[in-house]
Chain A
Amino acid sequence: MKQSQNNNIEALFRKLLGKVEEQPSNDIWSKIETQLPKNQLFSTFTKGVIGFGILIFCSFSIYQITKVEHQKTKVNRLAIEKQNLIANKYNTPIEKEKINKKELPFTRNNISLNEIHFNKKEVLQVNINRSKDVIENLQDLNARSTESVVIQTQQPAILIGNELALNTPELKIIETNITSRLEEKTNIENSKNELKVETNTFEMDQIPASILNPENNLFSESEISEFNLENNIINSTQILETKASKIKVEKEAIVLKSMWSEKEELMQKSAGIDEVDPLTLRRLKNKVNFDRVNINKGFYVGPFAGVNYSWLSVSKKYQDKEYRVENVKYKLSFGKTFGVALGYDFSKHWGVATDFGLSTINQTYLERPSENKLNTRSVSLNYWQLPIYIKYKANIGNRLQHRPITVGGLIGPQFSFLKNQKSTENGVDTEINQRINEKEFGLAGIINADFYINKNLFLTLGLKGSFGTNLNGFPKLQGSDNKDPISYQFGLFTRFNFKVAPKH
């Protein structure tokens, strides 16, 4: 056979078939068009950013909402603390001395008043355990020219002097005001009319013995004799006026459950407790609500979610003369993570924690397997991750000045188990089982801050970084003979935690 007739057919195939063109049917485009996505408003990355933004926004909103709720609710301890502060602020030394000397029996009465509403719009509500607290509130209001105050009680009550007498079951309504004070401070005639003192009467023999008992030094016999005992009836106003004149109390109170609706207008005019120095109030609230033990110790659990930048190195097992891992370019790829965290803080500074969740490692490679070829390979791996951390944390700032914030660092080993994987080469699905680790072992670390909403809830924002390689190949990680791919992740996360503190 002549040399010219003996040709390399492979070259011919390459030459002719490599450039073959053929016109497809006319309806192909219309079929393609039906499968193409409609215009999307947002890219996947944008959706991710928006999603994370919504997550942060929701977390912040919860934080703010609970902050308002926190302001709305005050427990007894807070009320007591607050009233003591007010007393210190507004009482003159002489008045304070008088109050201190008068350790009346009613102050030991454990029957609680229901609520004191300073203002209908006022968010703060106060529970009172001691009659003394009421008086201090009144002094506070008085100092700020309060026109009226309604005190709701579970029990009928009477104001005698600057002390509130509780457990007087026959009293139905006693409404008082210091009209003289009002006359000095206001010229609103309507208000004055509405604030007329109403008095009820009750049977003398139904007055608690404690009120009339001379041993309590509440009233002397001579004082009692001054009361109008005609027909065995005593006018409460007389008691009030008598006692008031003696200790020069300037204000009286209105007492009863059912008066709330009738006094709306007046209550709106009353002063708000939020006029008190906000820093002081915050300090008191924090002292009551953020018990030190709660912050320092306890179990916590909560869901977390985040985004991360991931990097998955190419397996060196693939390296040969043409395919050099050094020539592979890595494209910035983001993944997501979510799961549940669990931890236990066993001291002020130390604790243990874990966060079990699903984490996505995305990686896009630009490969050049040979000189004339360029591949775009995208890999998406979903791993179940289980890190076990040792935790160190510290409180920052003054717990009483603001809501507690703790900052901390966590570090520990992390196990990862491949759940599923997807890989495409130039957009076409491929199998990459030999390129990835089904089980990984590595290290994970976190730097985070915990923002306490109340003693049982806190929000965590943090940064997490981790790396891992083949569980079996981990000992070789430092060695040059390690050919397994190594995965790296670094990202942001947020977590909403529920905490249970140990009993103390």
Chain B
Amino acid sequence: MQPTDYKIELYKQLIDGCKKNNRDSQKKMYDLLSSKMFGVCLRYVKDREIAEDLLQEGFVKIFTNIEKFRGEGSFEGWARRIFVNTAIEAYRKSTKMYPIVNLESAEHFEGELVYNDTLELEDLMKLIHGLSPGYRTVFNLYVIEGYSHKEIAELLQISEGTSKSQLARARYLLQDLITANEKGTKQNEAIAK
């Protein structure tokens, strides 16, 4: 049996078990997915404890809604979308107090972000956590998850124009952060010399 086939078969068995509310299968599924899904949560929130709350909420949703998974597409992809939606839901609740506004006056950063190739995963996490929740969410949805502005608008209950301006602003701020990061690195190198 090929490793891929083995994985598919494993998922199939675990899904069947989870559909029957089998605790053992649920635990195995959790072990299989928790670190990946926690990574998804950490992209949307800065605080680790809040990310763990999202992880917990997401898994409960997965196990209570697993009947709705029809086996079309990968289970991991389906689960990932649940965690993304959970994060969005949490974000939407938080924005009831501080709603997103359309930044028509904000500079539209239409160019590509540039960087030198020293950036690593840790740096990227810091960069993305440096964005405000609104920018971070739109950036994550558009760039990482591949949602269209139309879908983002529906998910976040904002207009498409607002989604576009948020993304532009996020890019602009990220470029600033990258530039600042590079300067800091060069200064440190100079001091070291």
- Interface residues in B52-83 by Cβ distance below 8 A to A read 52, 55-56, 59-65, 68-70, 72-73, 77-78, 81-82
Q: Which residue of B lies closest to A45 (CB)?
A: B67
Interface string of B32-70 (1 = CB under 8 A from A): 001110111011000000011001100111111100111
Known: A10-B112, A37-B64, A366-B72. A32 touches B56 (CB 8 A): yes
B101 within 8 A of A: no
Let me know if B148 is at the binding interface, CB within 8 A.
yes
Give 1 or 0 for each of A17-54: 1 = CB within 8 Å of chain B CB: 11111111100110111011111100000000000000
Chain A residues whose C-beta falls within 8 Å of the C-beta of B36 in the assembled complex: 19, 21
**Interchain CB contact under 8 A, A369 and B151:** yes
Is B191 at the interface (CB under 8 A from chain A)?
A: no
B174 within 8 Å of A by Cβ?
A: yes
Asked if residues B68 and A12 are in contact (CB atoms below 8 Å), the reply is no
Q: Tell whether, in the assembled complex, residue B157 and residue A376 are in contact, meaning their CB atoms are under 8 Å apart.
A: no
- The answer to whether B128 touches A25 (Cβ under 8 A) is no
Asked if A32 and B30 sit within 8 Å, CB to CB, the answer is yes
Does chain A have a CB within 8 A of B184? Answer: no
Assess A10 versus B55: contact at CB under 8 Å? Given A21-B38, A366-B70, A429-B89. Answer: no
CB–CB B146/A372 < 8 A:
yes
> Chain A's nearest CB lies how many Å from the CB of B178?
7
Contact status of A16 and B121, CB under 8 A, knowing A370-B146, A374-B78: yes
Bound-state CA distance A369–B77 (Å) is: 14
Cβ contacts under 8 Å, A5 to chain B:
115-117
Interface string of B128-163 (1 = CB under 8 A from A): 100000000001000110101011001101000000
Interface residues in A344-400 (C-beta closer than 8 Å to B) = 364, 366, 369-370, 372-376, 378
Contact A23 B82 (CB under 8 A): no
Contact of B72 among A322, A374, A427, A431 (CB under 8 A): A374
Complex alpha-carbon distance, A35 and B52, angstroms: 15
Number of A-B contacts (CB under 8 A): 154
Closest to B79 in A: A426
Tally A residues with Cβ within 8 Å of B: 55
Would you give the shortest CB distance from B83 to chain A, in whole angstroms?
Answer: 9
Q: Is the beta-carbon distance between B52 and A17 smaller than 8 angstroms?
A: no
* B119 interfacial by beta-carbon distance below 8 Å: yes
- Bound complex: CA A64 to CA B46 (Å): 67
Q: How distant is the Cα of A424 from the Cα of B85 in the complex, in angstroms?
A: 10
Whether B39 lies near A430 (C-beta < 8 A) is: no
**A364 vs B144: C-alpha distance when bound (angstroms):** 27
Confirm or deny: A188 has a beta carbon within 8 angstroms of a beta carbon on chain B: no
CB atoms of B35 and A29 under 8 A apart: no
CB pair B69–A376 under 8 Å, yes or no, is yes
Contact call A10/B113, Cβ cutoff below 8 A: yes
In the complex, which residues of chain A have a beta carbon less than 8 angstroms from the beta carbon of B70? 331, 366, 376
B97: shortest Cβ distance to chain A, in Å?
A: 18
Which A residues touch B157, using CB under 8 A?
431
- Asked if A40 and B42 make an inter-chain contact with CB atoms under 8 angstroms apart, the answer reads no
Contact of B144 among A4, A7, A18, A378 (CB under 8 A): A18
What are the residues of chain B within 8 A of A372 when measuring CB–CB?
Answer: 146
Known: A7-B117, A36-B21, A431-B157. A426 touches B144 (CB 8 A): no
B27 within 8 A of A: yes
Across the interface, A370 reaches (CB within 8 A) one of B62, B65, B113, B148, namely B148
Is there an interface contact between A21 and B30, defined as CB atoms closer than 8 Å?
A: no
Known A24-B55, A426-B81; contact A33-B124, beta-carbon cutoff 8 A: no
**Cβ-defined contact, B143 with A10, below 8 A:** yes
In the complex, B192 has a CB within 8 A of chain A: no
Contact call A20/B151, Cβ cutoff below 8 A = no
How far is it, in angstroms, between the C-alpha of A374 and the C-alpha of B82 when the chains are bound?
11
Instruction: Say yes or no: is B86 at the interface (Cβ < 8 Å to chain A).
Output: yes
**Of B65, B143, B151, which contacts A13 at CB under 8 A?**
B143
Q: Report the minimum CB–CB distance from B33 to chain A (whole Å).
A: 10
In the complex, the chain A residue whose C-beta lies closest to that of B49 is A25
Closest-by-CB residue of A relative to B70 is: A366
Interface presence of B1 (CB below 8 A):
no
Chain B 95-139 per-residue mask, 1 if CB under 8 angstroms from chain A, else 0:
000000000000000001111110111001100100000000001
Q: Would you call A428 an interface residue if the criterion is a C-beta within 8 Å of the partner chain's C-beta atoms?
A: yes
- Is A21 a contact partner of B39 (Cβ separation < 8 A)? yes
Taken together as a complex, chains A and B put the C-alpha atoms of A403 and B179 apart, in Å, by 90
Contact with B along A403-438 (1 / 0, CB 8 A): 000000000000000000000111111110010000
On whether the beta carbons of B65 and A9 are closer than 8 Å, the reply is: no
Interface residue B23 (Cβ < 8 Å from any Cβ of A): yes
The answer to whether the Cβ of A504 comes within 8 Å of any Cβ in the partner chain is: no
A187 in the interface (beta carbon within 8 A): no
- B56 contacts A7, CB within 8 Å? no
Task: Kindly state whether residue A320 has any CB partner on chain B within 8 Å.
Answer: yes
Which B residues are CB-close (under 8 A) to A424? Answer: 65
Q: In this assembly, does B166 line the interface, its C-beta being within 8 Å of a C-beta of chain A?
A: no
Is B26 interfacial (CB 8 A cutoff)? yes
Give Cα distance in the complex from A33 to B26, angstroms. 9
B39-A22 in contact (CB<8A) = yes
Which chain B positions have C-beta within 8 A of A364? Answer: 68
Known pairs A9-B114, A35-B56, A426-B81 / 16 extra A-B pairs, C-beta < 8 Å: A6-B114, A8-B112, A9-B119, A10-B113, A13-B128, A19-B39, A21-B39, A22-B38, A22-B39, A23-B34, A24-B55, A28-B55, A29-B27, A427-B62, A427-B65, A428-B82
6 contacts between A and B (CB under 8 A): A5-B117, A24-B35, A32-B30, A33-B27, A375-B81, A425-B85
- A-binding residues in B (CB < 8 A): 21, 23, 26-27, 30, 34-36, 38-40, 42-43, 51-52, 55-56, 59-65, 68-70, 72-73, 77-78, 81-82, 85-86, 88-89, 112-117, 119-121, 124-125, 128, 139, 143-144, 146, 148, 150-151, 154-155, 157, 174, 178
